[in-house]
Structure 1
């Protein structure tokens, strides 16, 4: 696994073992403002690519020519194909950097869409609410975080996430305290992932 460190978020590249000998390619973003001790794909994951190096996160239905797995047939073939997928991964990281240059871009992206079919409703609501809160967009922040708190919470991770959402709701009227809490959470998560502490300053969007 490789990662591109953006302080309050990461781009993650994973060459995932697949069927038989070979690998899939997963590339996505992980937001670090939730307390976690594991790597996760919060935005994006599986990539599909063509031989010319073009790639998509979801190929058009019925369209041929897209690959999602590198089969190992012989060493020189595998090296060539993995080199291609490494270039695809680099291209996707560049896309993610351009897509999310600041927290405001994350807030706009997440609050403007519903959770995808393969995405946890609670995680989507938490990330959308947190990003909006950092930007001072109180109404969508309260709406999304309240959705987490008021959900039917069965699993332990759901209750833990709801506790974090409740904590942020209590700080919504104090942006400085909210910023301090999120910086603390980001660095707690970074520590659990064995990453160095990040210096996150306060500006017009919070980070």
Structure 2
């Protein structure tokens, strides 16, 4: 029998998120929205041993390889924990707090959707983010690879080459990050082919999440 607090969370999430195009992942507390080359993710994460929930809202880039051998993996590419946990005390109390949490999730999901409304805006945001990371001494990692991919998809090849070089020639990147950056850099010799390869990678991930394939990627501007 499903516990009351899980049912309450599911009802609140459906009311707030379904109108935004989210669907529930099976019977889990994860809700997904399809944005083509990325997913909006809302997770009502269980709070340890208590009957309650944390809230995580984030974007997952569908060009990201599955890291554990599982086809269903979700990396926190932008975003993360939003609010402190709510704890079940009574059905009435928890229903009110779950509805509020779900509304907060919807607001944050809309904010992410607006922020990444086009591949050009995604490239701008990820480049700015990576430059800020570099100034803090933590650049040249996965976020640099993601910024490079976004630039490739936006047709901004020179910017892609510049940002990916910070990984390829950075100080001690992790082997997987280094290998990914080198592969992307090599692919820049033929940007159209690289875009087709990225589309294939995105469609493999879309299939894992039971979404139909994309016929093509966004057409770069200019």
Normalised by the shorter chain, which TM-score bucket?
0.7 to 0.9
Deviations along 1:182-207, whole A, 9 cap, x unmatched?
1011112223444432333452259x
Offset at residue 167 of structure 1 (A): 2.0
Residue 51 of structure 2 aligns with which residue? Answer: 21
Paired residues of 1:34 and 1:164 also in contact (CA < 8 A): no
User: How does the TM-score come out when normalised to structure 2?
Assistant: 0.73
Distance 1:205 1:163, change over 3 A: farther
Of 11, 15, 36, the residue aligned with 1:7 is 36
Matching residue within 166, 180, 199 for 1:164 = 180
Residues 182-193 of structure 1: pairs in structure 2 closer than 5 A? 182-193=198-209
Cα pair distance change 1:13/1:121, threshold 3 Å: farther
Question: Deviations for 1:17-43, whole angstroms, at most 9, x for unmatched residues?
Answer: 114221110001111112124111111
Shift in alpha-carbon separation, 1:111–1:167, aligned structure 2, 3 A = same
The structure 2 residue matched to 1:111, chosen from 121, 124, 127, is 127
- C-alpha displacement of 1:8: 0.3
Q: Which has the higher contact order (CA 8 A, sep 6+)?
A: 1
Offset of residue 135 of structure 1: 1.8
CA RMSD of aligned residues (A): 2.4
Aligned residues: 182
Deviation (angstroms), 1:92:
1.3
Give unmatched runs, 5+ long, in structure 1.
49-67
Match of 2:192, SS? helix
**Structure 1 residues 121 and 27 mapped into 2: Cα distance closer, same or farther (>3 Å)?**
farther
Give yes or no for contact 2:140–2:166 (8 Å, CA) kept in 1.
no
* 1:172 Cα deviation from its structure 2 partner: 1.4
Residue-by-residue CA offset, 1:90-128 (whole Å, 9 max, x unaligned): 1111111111111111110111132398x8851111111
Structure number with higher helix proportion: 2
Match in the other structure for 2:161:
142
- Structure 2 residue aligned with 1:181: 197
Distance, in Å, in 2 between the alignment partners of 1:149 and 1:190 is 28
For 1:143-189, what per-residue CA distance to the aligned partner results, in whole angstroms no more than 9, with x for missing partners? Answer: 22223333424xxxx43343332222112142211210110111122
Show structure 2 runs of 5+ residues with no match.
1-29
Could you tell me which residue of structure 1 aligns to residue 13 of structure 2?
A: none
3-state SS, counterpart of residue 112 of structure 1: helix
SS at match of 1:45: strand
